[in-house]
């Protein structure tokens, strides 16, 4: 599938997350809302969502699924910017940044999710997007 088509579909996800942060969530978005995580022992100050964007493949009946994780800003999700984060090409997961760099959680050695003091969603809505494989 041409890179332009994939990029345009991911842009639609970004747009949907931006619109969702500025209005009520759709039923489809609510179905992707995360209400609990293993190892999370506190109530986060934000809402977050995780799911897949379906991208039709080149061959008949072939599809690809691109994973996303959207995290609302803690300040004002309706007014704060949206940061779209990806980590390089295939094989470099955006979840690495989500759980080790600027995401809201940092797992410890026991698998407990601790609050990341340096989380970017304190001031921005965060959209982490996986890179599709070939």
| pLDDT cut 90: percent of the chain above it | 46
Closest alpha carbon to 120 in 32, 36, 48: 48
pTM of the model: 0.76
CA 77 to chain centroid, in Å, comes to: 14
Per residue in 12-35, pLDDT tens?
565 555 555 555 788 888 999 999
Per residue in 71-128, pLDDT tens?
999 999 999 999 988 876 666 777 778 888 899 999 999 999 999 999 999 999 999 8
Distance CA(55)–CA(112), nearest Å, equals 34
pLDDT at position 95, please? Answer: 76
Distance CA(10)–CA(43), nearest Å, equals 30
Per residue in 49-75, pLDDT tens?
999 888 777 777 777 788 889 999 999
| pLDDT cut 70: percent of the chain above it | 76
What single-letter DSSP state applies at residue 46?
Answer: S
């Amino acid at each position: 599938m041409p890179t332009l088509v994939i990029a345009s579909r991911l842009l639609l996800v970004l747009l949907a997350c931006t619109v969702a942060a500025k209005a009520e969530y759709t039923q489809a978005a609510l179905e992707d809302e995360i209400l609990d995580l293993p190892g999370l022992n506190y109530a986060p100050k934000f809402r977050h969502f995780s799911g897949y964007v379906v991208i039709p493949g080149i061959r008949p009946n072939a599809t690809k699924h691109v994973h996303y994780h959207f995290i609302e800003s803690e300040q004002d999700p309706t007014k704060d910017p949206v940061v779209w984060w990806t980590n390089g090409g295939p094989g470099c997961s955006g979840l690495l940044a989500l759980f080790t760099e600027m995401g809201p959680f940092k797992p410890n050695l026991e698998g407990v999710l601790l609050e990341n003091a340096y989380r970017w969603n304190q001031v921005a809505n965060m959209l982490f997007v996986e890179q599709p494989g070939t």
